[in-house]
Chains A and B, each alone.
Chain A
Amino acid sequence: MKQKILSNAEIIGILLMGFVALITGGWSVIIIVLLIGALVGVNTEAEPGAWRKALLPGAISAAAVVLATIIHNHVIMGLPRQEPIPAASTAPLVYIGAIVLGTAMAVLVVALRSASDARVRKFGLIGLLLACAVAFPFFEQYAQLFWANAIIVAMIFAMQALGLNIVAGYAGMLDLGYVAFFAIGGYTIAFLNSPQFNLQVWFWLVIWVAAAAAALFGLILGTPVIPLRGDYLAIVTLGFGEIVPIVFRNLNAITILEPVSSLVAALTGNPASAICLVGCIEPFNLTNGTDGITPIGRPIFPGVQFVTGQYIPWYFLILGLLIASVFFISRLRNSRIGRAWVAIREDELAANSMGINLVRTKLIAFMLGAMFSGFAGAFYGSYVSFISPDAFDFSISVIVLCMVILGGTGSIVGVILGGFIIKVTDLLLLDKLQVVMGGLLQATLFQGIENQGMQNFLESLFNASQYKLLLFGIILVTMMQFRPQGLVPSTAERKA
């Protein structure tokens, strides 16, 4: 049989990355070739001397991405309405350098993976990843990519997805109201560290309070729902997830009367005589309703300013948190409780008869998941400095679920990858696509159409950012049909 130069995964990767390069262009090519190089490297079988095998596919993949970038820089940039790209990024030397860089990445990854020293194998890739992560924000700033905001939000959501992964991936409970804990975390920091009640509690304490509050609600909700069957549990959590934002939306004018006195007052026809307990002079405003709460306190760190628009401190703070979360969860996964979760997911009856306490084990998973979500919610609130109930609707729960499903239920690497793919697409790529499509329409179809109404209609029909829900829906349906284990299956799934 003839050896194929590129595997199927690599071809799909090239097509997707090439498309991304096609709609972004400019300096983004450097990041995209590194990603495709890493993909080729991971995909090549590790054995001594295997790095030579990565040379050709690495170069081809990088060249394909560079070709797409060239099309963007020299053809698409000619269309109307495009955002400018830095002139330095279109130098021929950049293209050649990008191909070399991509190939080098592929070779390096393979070489590290097939190193003879076990320690190099273990820590080499992590070190490489870390180096890229540290270099990213500085490069981003130099290259004027404006990606930092999307990446920071993606990291916050990846943290949330890691939490849902404990609940849905490890313990096998589908939580459709996960956004509720995100909201509780966000509102906790908003109450304790904003002008709403003129409180300025120390930031590093508040985030733990927020996580604890979310975990407490996880316990309160979890206790009754744990014995329920899978789909009923999903619906009950969905109901809870819907109630929480309604509560936050509506608790802006609270007046509480003593019920018995209120009843007596009504029956005697003298409503004013009821005993008032809360909000007597004017109704008590807890959450500020749909207007939300702003500004919310920022992290305090000596020598570093956390302000809107300055992304580098935020980036490193949240990167650090993400790394800590990954470390914590991977340790947890291999601990006694982690093995108990997987045992329950695989066969509840068998796990129970081996002496695993089902309720307690599931409850811990539920609480830990809630805690991660609350933690992420607190950082999200602090980062955007604004919390309102509209930020917590059902679609957030589904988007986080989408991250877990896309990446691979139960797989830490997969879930983080899924989080990045979904959120970067959501916040960045769809907007870029819309700009390109708009320019394309103007340059082609609109030339032949005089009618302004028709132009408006086509514009609205090809508005890429209006198709977010469709995209997430398609991801969920197709993953379930064709690859339920996700892009990066967990090790347990791979063995099976």
Chain B
Amino acid sequence: MTETNPTTQRALRILLIVAIGYLALLIGQPAGLDVGRIITDIVKTPTNVVQQLVIGLANGSIIVIIALGYTLVYGIIELVNFAHGEVFMLGAFTALMALSIFTTTTATGGLTAPFWAALLGFIPAMVLCGLLNAGIERLAYRRLRNSPKLAVLISAIGMSFILQNIGLQFGALGKLTQVGPEFQVFQVLGSNNAAPKSFPVVLSTENLLGDFPIRITQADVLVMGAALVLMLALNWFVQSTRLGKAMRAVAQNRDAAAMMGINVDQIIALTFLIGGALAGAAGMMFGLYNGTVVFTMGFTAGLRSFTAAVLGGIGNIRGAALGGILIGLLAAFSDQYLAVRWTNAWVFLILVLVLLFRPTGLLGQESGDKA
């Protein structure tokens, strides 16, 4: 190796970064990375940037709530709970069914439900998904506690397929509406198993800011508010209760925690319960915000949320919050300024790049032993 002085080294590094940047701008163009068009768009309607910020924050809030489930489970048993996205999907279906009890048909033929029904609907979605997630742990992961990590991961993938199939066949209940009026509850599911299901209209789409060019609707406020409440509640639970303390202890060192008299199996089940409940809540939030749910949505939403958890530093609760918001913003801006059909590719690219170059994530240092 020949000695090179620091200045040339620095110059070379800058040159390299410029070259990579130029190449990215060149080959990124089919995927929407066209600086010229992006700048023209921004100059034309600058308020759009703020609008995307709002949309990104709202979508990010949902991603955060799902990502918390990944991060809690990873923090405690180092498992990428692949089935988590599907639990979220089933949560959205549960929420839909809970709402459908109070659904009425409007004069124009659309379906609508009162606001209090939506708030009430959080309860069955959270309870059911919490129990489901804990059940999955008992059924598919507990026996494998001392197996190689990949064995548990494969079991989790299998579980996600099972749940996705349940989501698909759940849609078959919609066919019961043809039987008679006593099955009217299932009208929200439509007549095709696999087709996306529409949520009844709960919130008004009116702009809360009146004629201002930036739209903030009730849905935005509700989703962000719900996310904030859930995050504060989780933070309080983990930091300030005995059970939360036990969870942290098990995450730090399972054997030592067991020796201190903590029932490790119970604490792990509790972690899955909480993660599942959060996924159920996210299902309701997603349905209210986006209006439609479909049985395949768990995979993409799950992978996005997992990306968020990894980006923030997996195993770290605050990291999941940060990562979720960032991924939400990235998706919103990609939808608007890059290209909608490439958004998933951009998110997965972030996943790949973070795992390759900074597997501990942005806030990963704090929990170095877990990441």
Contacts and interface: CB of A to CB of B under 8 A. Distances in A.
Interface string A401-413: 1000100000000
A41 B98 CA distance: 57
A350 interface: no
Interface stretch (B36-44, B222-230, B253-261, B275-283): B36-44
Contacts of A267: 39
Interface in A209-257: 224-225, 228-232, 234-236, 238-240, 242-243, 246-247, 249-251, 253-257
B30 A254 contact: yes
A259 interface: yes
Interface residues on B, range: 35 or more
Contact of A476 (B161, B168, B355): B161
A198 interface: no
A13 interface: no
A174 B150 contact: yes
Nearest to B83: A473
A84 interface: no
Contact of A243 (B30, B159, B348, B356): B348
B36 A236 contact: no
Interface stretch (B176-184, B264-272, B286-294): B176-184
Interface string B22-62: 10011101110011110110010000000000000000000
A405 B173 CA distance: 34
Interface string A273-300: 0100100000000000000000000000
Contacts of B22: 259
A258 to B, nearest CB: 8
Given A230-B149, A263-B35, A469-B164, A250 B341 contact: yes
A230 B150 contact: yes
Contacts of A474: 158, 162
A238 B162 CA distance: 19
A313 interface: no
B144 interface: yes
Given A266-B40, A453-B175, A401 B154 contact: yes
B153 A256 contact: no
B150 A476 contact: no
Interface residues on A, range: 35 or more
Q: Is the interface of B mostly helix, strand, loop or mixed?
A: helix
A382 to B, nearest CB: 27
Contact of B165 (A229, A236, A255, A473): A473
A128 B177 CA distance: 57
A132 interface: no
A231 B314 CA distance: 13
A384 interface: no
Contacts of B144: 480-481
B351 A481 contact: no
Contacts of B153: 174, 231, 234
A231 B140 contact: no
A405 to B, nearest CB: 6
A492 interface: no
Nearest to B22: A259
Contacts of A428: none
B39 A453 contact: no
Contact of B158 (A253, A466, A476): A476
Contacts of A452: 178
Contacts of A476: 154-155, 157-158, 161
Nearest to B163: A473
Contacts of B150: 174, 230-231, 234
Given A242-B344, A250-B341, 8 more contacts: A174-B153, A231-B153, A239-B303, A246-B341, A259-B22, A454-B179, A470-B166, A473-B160
18 contacts: A224-B356, A232-B355, A239-B303, A255-B29, A255-B30, A257-B29, A262-B36, A266-B35, A271-B37, A453-B176, A457-B172, A466-B193, A469-B165, A473-B160, A477-B139, A477-B158, A477-B159, A480-B140
